[in-house]
């Protein structure tokens, strides 16, 4: 019996059943990939994945990012550096303290964003696996930036053509109230250019590419560019473009960072354990390079 694909909407998000990601045949992988390029977000319930199996599945989509944002001194050493620790646990596996630096930093995940757009070569896709879920809250919302692009008036599409935004982790963290990057951290993460509209090669679909990491638009007055980014994020996050994932333990959810945004929702993180780990696959090149747009000086 082959895998089953059950679409959440005709073009965004699908649940994949009758599949074991730890032993996926080439034929099944081809089906998973075809579904991924179509739906941009796939849910695989009931997976039993050791860390190596999770990484091995991610690697079938490309190289995994291993560079972390925060210095090792703060970063959790619970996990291999190829994982982003999306939990509320400290290095000892205990629920973090209210004032912990990790907690302050990760509050930024509750803003609409796409993973690693603040890196010159951004994230292609992310694969997030839930080990323990919170009994109340802690959902993840996903928005389809392709459908949001399609719904723009023609005049807006024309206005956005060729524009480049500046993305920086410092921008999104400033928005969520985290400003104490160390000199080393800040030096590792200079702002980078990303195309505001991109074409996804595998589907041919155009997509917006906005996130809370984006702060200004090259060639526009700072305030005007910032206002346009805010307006676009508000547009993309309208409910007709959004799917909310309510986690069950052992779900693996993967999304295309090139054409979706996501954000975590609140839960009582000083009370409940929420233990998830994420592998992030790098894109093939900077988005401007892929669009054939000259990098701003």
Q: Does residue 22 bind ligand OGA (CB under 6 A)?
A: no
d(CA 142, CA 104): 22
Given 128, 147, 197, 228, the residue binding ligand OGA (CB under 6 A): 128
Q: Which residues touch 292 (CB under 8 Å, ≥6 apart)?
A: none
For 26-36, give one letter per residue: b (16+ CB within 10 A) or e. Answer: eebbebbeebb
Least distance in Å: CB of 278 to ligand OGA? Answer: 4
Q: Does residue 65 bind Mn ion (CB under 5 A)?
A: no
- State the binding string over 1-40 for Mn ion (x if CB under 5 A, else -): ----------------------------------------
Least distance in Å: CB of 61 to Mn ion? Answer: 16
Q: Which residues touch 82 (CB under 8 Å, ≥6 apart)?
A: 55, 64, 65, 66, 279
Residue that has been written with the tokens 């333990």 in this structure: 249
Q: Does residue 140 bind ligand OGA (CB under 6 A)?
A: yes
Q: Does residue 152 bind ligand OGA (CB under 6 A)?
A: no
d(CA 113, CA 213): 7
Given 49, 75, 86, 293, the residue binding ligand OGA (CB under 6 A): 86
d(CA 252, CA 278): 9
Number of residues that make up the chain: 297
d(CA 290, CA 297): 17
Look up residue 94 and give its two tokens: 């205990």
Q: Does residue 115 bind ligand OGA (CB under 6 A)?
A: yes
Q: Does residue 278 bind ligand OGA (CB under 6 A)?
A: yes
Least distance in Å: CB of 144 to ligand OGA? Answer: 16
Q: Does residue 109 bind ligand OGA (CB under 6 A)?
A: yes
Q: Does residue 54 bind ligand OGA (CB under 6 A)?
A: no
Given 15, 65, 85, 115, the residue binding Mn ion (CB under 5 A): 115
C-alpha closest to that of 203 among 62, 43, 35: 35
For residue 225, the partner it binds in Mn ion, ligand OGA, none, with Cβ less than 5 to 8 A by kind, is none
* Minimum CB distance to ligand OGA smaller for 176 or for 199: 176
* Sites of contact with ligand OGA (CB under 6 A): 86, 109, 115, 126, 128, 140, 262, 264, 278
């Amino acid at each position: 019996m082959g895998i089953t694909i059950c679409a959440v909407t005709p073009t965004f998000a699908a649940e994949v059943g009758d599949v074991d990601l730890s032993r996926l045949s080439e034929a099944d992988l081809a089906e998973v990939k075809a579904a991924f390029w179509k739906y941009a977000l796939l849910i695989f319930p009931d997976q039993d994945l050791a860390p190596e199996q999770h990484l091995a599945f991610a690697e079938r989509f490309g190289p995994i990012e291993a560079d972390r944002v925060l210095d090792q001194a703060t970063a959790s050493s619970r996990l291999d550096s190829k994982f982003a620790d999306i939990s509320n646990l400290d290095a000892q596996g205990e629920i973090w303290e209210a004032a912990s630096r990790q907690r302050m930093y990760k509050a930024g995940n509750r803003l609409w964003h796409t993973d690693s757009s603040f890196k010159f070569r951004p994230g292609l896709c992310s694969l997030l696996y839930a080990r323990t879920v919170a009994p109340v809250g802690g959902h993840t919302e996903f928005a389809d930036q392709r459908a949001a692009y399609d719904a723009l008036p023609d005049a807006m599409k024309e206005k956005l053509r060729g524009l480049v935004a500046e993305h920086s982790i410092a921008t999104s963290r400033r928005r969520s109230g985290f400003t104490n990057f160390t000199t080393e951290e800040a030096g590792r993460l200079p702002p980078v250019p990303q195309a505001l509209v991109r074409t996804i090669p595998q589907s041919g679909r155009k997509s917006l590419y906005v996130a809370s990491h984006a702060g200004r638009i090259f060639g526009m007055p700072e305030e005007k560019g910032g206002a346009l980014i805010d307006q676009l994020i508000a547009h993309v996050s309208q409910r007709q473009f959004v799917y909310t994932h309510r986690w069950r333990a052992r779900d693996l959810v993967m999304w295309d960072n090139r054409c979706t945004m996501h954000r975590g929702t609140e839960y009582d993180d000083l009370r409940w354990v929420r233990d998830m780990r994420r592998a992030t696959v790098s894109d093939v090149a900077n988005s401007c390079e892929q669009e054939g747009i000259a990098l701003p000086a």
